[in-house]
Structure 1
Amino acid sequence: MGKLLLLQIRVVLLALLSMALPFTATAHEVQPAVADVEIGPDTVTITLRTAVEPIIAGVNLSEVEDTNDSPLSDQNDALRALPPADLAAALTESWTSISENITLTTGDTDLLPMLSEVDVPQVGDIEIRRDSTLTLVADLPEGDDPVVFGWDAALGGLIIRQIAAGTDDAYEAYLTNGALSDPMPRTGVAQTSLGDAVYRYVVSGFDHIIPKGLDHILFVLGLFFYSRAWRPLLWQVSAFTVAHTVTLALATLGIVQPTMWVIEALIALSIVWVAVENIWSGGKKEIGWERIGVVFGFGLLHGLGFASVLSEFGLGSHFIASLISFNIGVELGQITVIAAAFLLFSLPFGARSWYRARIAVPISVVIAVIAAYWVLNRIGWAGDIPYLA
């Protein structure tokens, strides 16, 4: 029985490690494009921010989560190394075929999005995603028919934002699988219902934890494996929730504007800290204020990480409801992680005398090792580590 249990634990640890490795190098991760739409009397102008290299290379972004997984990844990487003028020229040359995957209509009329301007950043670290800014312009026919915008699933996810000039009204939509925007009127903005906003942000918050937030998952697991007693877990989760709610709101309002690579590195360091503390001082039935204070401080960091998602989506006219809904989604994700850990570890093995020595401590070691690599990776010190780099 003991050998079987050890085998099960090894399998779980290897699974955790194999889950973590694909997420360590996020430089090639597929992320949605962001389109700001402005509709005037005679023209529609779309300011599009995205990585154009995979689009030029023809990578099907609906089939991969990382461009390294595409058979066209070599072409994508070669385009990343091009100087701005050369990449802009490559985009211009390919624009006719690319624009065939874009839908821009008003009424029964198809509009032709012309590539007006291209702003490509200078070549830096070619392992880092480079977002270019494209300005698309199309002439509008006479009339007052609304505008519909979207693109083929192969171009990836698309966040659309329409803001009415001189007002606080806004329309946001996150489009996937080739979906199209709601009709956007030429005066005012498309209206998102309160129900749609709540649903979208709850789903987005949950999605930011499961499956996309492996760093947040490991942090929550670090809290879980500190002790089997419910009181320490309740205090830690409560402190973490209050803290990340505060900074999520502050960052979304623009009161705090952090440097994200620093925040991401510190988030990884927070995971190392809680995991190591589990190893040295976990297993207690009570929890000290020191641990609660540390978790609260780390929760402030994680809230800034959550805010990076909302900075892309925006919150529009349903600001409070959307913010609360996103936070609810995050909490549901965290509760799901804790429930899964309870069912897999605490319920079947928690009463055994060897639970801490054979389960809580070994898993905390693995969490600490993974997060330590993330720290090095996010500050640029892990490029020479074989296999992981």
Structure 2
Amino acid sequence: MAILQSNSGNRVTSGLRVSSLTAVLICALAMLSSPTSAHEVQPSVMDITLSPTAADLEVAATVEPFLAGIDLDGLNDTNASDRSDENDRLRALPPAELEAAFRDAWPDLQSEIGLRVDGQDIPLELGDVSVPEVGNVELPRTTTFTATAQLPEGDAPVVVTWDSRLGGVAVRQQGLKQEGYTAYLSSGGETAEIPREGARDENWALSLLTYIPVGFEHIVPLGLDHILFVLGLFFLSTQLRPLLWQVTAFTAAHTVTLALAALGIVTVPAAVVEPLIAASIVYVGVENVLSRGLSPWRPFIVLLFGLLHGLGFASVLAEYGLGSQNFVAKLIGFNLGVEIGQLAVIAVGFILVFAAMREFGRAAEQRGRAAIYLALAFIVVPAVFGLFATFGITLDGGLLPLAALVAVLLGLTGAALASEGDESYRQNVANPASILIALVGAYWFVERVFL
């Protein structure tokens, strides 16, 4: 009888481990096949110059989604829209045809891009439209257009309005001897009142708080490469001390290069930085598998990689424009947002795999917990995101890899709980997760260098 029970238990355990492996493979494929940048939604940049009588706008934007009727509010990837085919068609249009389409759509766009003075909407007249030649249609192209408006008499300040359907926009005031007003509208909305002459005094604390969500958003959900790197640090060891050493080195390094790059002291092309960031992901994943803990050189390697990631953060920050007014506050706010995002990643990772780190004892209890984790991986996660879709919250290309990542960690934890031995966590969670991290990093390296 005992033998039969033992064999039955082994079959259950084996089945759970096979199911877990299947879950991991499915989710890994989802992560690997997810585009990293081809259809990623890019924020627009608006430069506005004011005089006592007029406003001049120059906007750099990916206008194809505007014309395709895609709602970019909360969207990270245009492939997630049911209008993505139209967006791809517009990407392939020659410059003259896309310009004509944009001019035809301008009367409708005026209700979404506007100026307001004393509560009165001020009409904008479209000027030049500059569309780049068709290149790689898998990548977004940036169109630049100008618009002007005649302002009513007086010195009442101007408010810029931007519809949430058009996604995020960085607004920068130009034409002043001192630094002008800057703002980032992540989901549309309107700016503060901008003086026609002179610069608006910005509150230091408000500037800091405004840039915290910008930094956080760059990690969660947009920074999948940074998320995987941080998880690579996390999976090295179950002990707190190695994690603290690594996170401290990484934070110190990326803070330095972020500041230097933001100040214009250090400039490295994205074509160099992005492949090296992918290579850093490969390294931490591979070393996790080959090493048995924190090596003497690991913190120094992580510090060097932190310098690279800081340059990546700076390239994103440059899109929004810091300006010189309250520069330090904005830089600190962005960096705080990045740190909060990284800590959130570690916290979620810990919560997902915590059960696998513990020794519960009896095999029957282990199998029961394993079944629960596999159910979470296969049922609860899809159900939760399906619930989001029911309420109109889109599970787009930026969130799909995160959902896959959650399912992977739940599946691996289930495999660990269905196994026996002191090395269960390392063999079934830390090592497989590190291998997947390295594989995704290798895929990105090839993509960023050769594709």
What TM-score results when the alignment is normalised by the length of structure 2? 0.78
Q: Does 1:132 align with 2:138?
A: no
CA distance in 1, matches of 2:118, 2:223: 40
Give 3-state SS (helix, strand or coil) of 1:26's partner.
coil
Cα offset, 1:144, TM superposition: 0.5
2:343 aligns with 335
1:354 aligns with 424
Q: Does 1:323 align with 2:331?
A: yes
CA distance in 1, matches of 2:173, 2:227: 33
Q: Which has the larger radius of gyration?
A: 2
Give 3-state SS (helix, strand or coil) of 1:37's partner.
strand
1:112 aligns with 123
1:222 aligns with 232
Contact 2:171–2:182, Cα closer than 8 Å, also in 1: yes
The 1:15–1:45 alpha-carbon spacing in structure 2 relative to 1, beyond 3 Å, is farther
Alignment of 1:187-266 (within 5 A): 187-266=197-276
1:95 aligns with 106
CA distance in 2, matches of 1:187, 1:4: 72
CA distance in 2, matches of 1:261, 1:371: 16
Cα offset, 1:103, TM superposition: 2.6
CA distance in 1, matches of 2:317, 2:74: 25
2:352 aligns with 344
Q: Does 1:166 align with 2:174?
A: no
**Counterpart residue type for residue 321 of structure 2:** G
**Counterpart residue type for residue 82 of structure 2:** P
Name the % identity.
47
Give 3-state SS (helix, strand or coil) of 2:283's partner.
helix
The 1:191–1:10 alpha-carbon spacing in structure 2 relative to 1, beyond 3 Å, is farther
What TM-score results when the alignment is normalised by the length of structure 1? 0.90
Give 3-state SS (helix, strand or coil) of 1:339's partner.
helix
* Aligned-residue CA RMSD (Å): 2.2
Give 3-state SS (helix, strand or coil) of 1:362's partner.
helix
The 1:25–1:232 alpha-carbon spacing in structure 2 relative to 1, beyond 3 Å, is closer
Deviations 1:240-259 (A, max 9, x none): 11111111011111112222
CA distance in 1, matches of 2:27, 2:339: 22
Q: Which runs of 5+ in 1 are unaligned?
A: 382-389
Q: How many residues of Structure 1 are paired with residues of Structure 2 in the alignment?
A: 377
More displaced 10-residue stretch of structure 1: 155-164 or 38-47: 155-164
2:438 aligns with 368
More displaced 10-residue stretch of structure 1: 10-19 or 361-370: 10-19
CA distance in 2, matches of 1:198, 1:19: 37
2:77 aligns with 66
CA distance in 1, matches of 2:441, 2:25: 15
2:303 aligns with 296
The 1:145–1:12 alpha-carbon spacing in structure 2 relative to 1, beyond 3 Å, is farther
Cα offset, 1:368, TM superposition: 1.0
CA distance in 2, matches of 1:368, 1:341: 17
More displaced 10-residue stretch of structure 1: 120-129 or 204-213: 204-213
Give 3-state SS (helix, strand or coil) of 2:267's partner.
coil
Deviations 1:126-173 (A, max 9, x none): 111101111111111221111111122211112111245111x33222
The 1:101–1:202 alpha-carbon spacing in structure 2 relative to 1, beyond 3 Å, is closer
CA distance in 1, matches of 2:202, 2:33: 36
Alignment of 1:298-317 (within 5 A): 298-316=305-323, 317=325
Give 3-state SS (helix, strand or coil) of 2:190's partner.
coil
Contact 2:356–2:425, Cα closer than 8 Å, also in 1: no
More displaced 10-residue stretch of structure 1: 108-117 or 2-11: 2-11
Q: Does 1:148 align with 2:159?
A: yes
CA distance in 1, matches of 2:24, 2:180: 46
2:364 aligns with none
Q: Indicate which of 181, 194, 200 corresponds to 1:184.
A: 194
